Amino acid sequence: MPATRSAHHLIRSEGTTTVKVIVDMDRCQDHGQCVFSAPEVFRINDAGRLEFVAEPDDTLRDAVEDAADVCPLQAITIED
Ligand code: SF4
- List the chain pLDDT tens, one digit each, 80 residues: 454 444 445 565 554 789 999 999 999 999 999 999 999 999 999 999 999 999 999 999 999 999 999 999 999 999 97
Domain ranges (residues) in the chain = 4-79
List CB contacts of 3: < 8 A, sequence separation 6 or more.
11, 12
**Among 12, 11, 69, 6, CA closest to 37:** 69
Q: What atom in ligand 1 is closest to the CA of residue 50?
A: 5
Distance 50 CA to ligand 1 centre (A): 7
The total number of residues shown for the chain amounts to: 80
Q: What atom in ligand 1 is closest to the CA of residue 70?
A: 1
Which residues, in sequence order, are bridge partners of residue 78?
A: 21
Reduced to 3 states (helix: H, G, I; strand: E, B; else coil), residue 28 is coil
CATH topology of domain 4-79: Alpha-Beta Plaits (3.30.70)
Host H or E run for residue 70 = helix 61-70
Amino acid at residue number 67? A
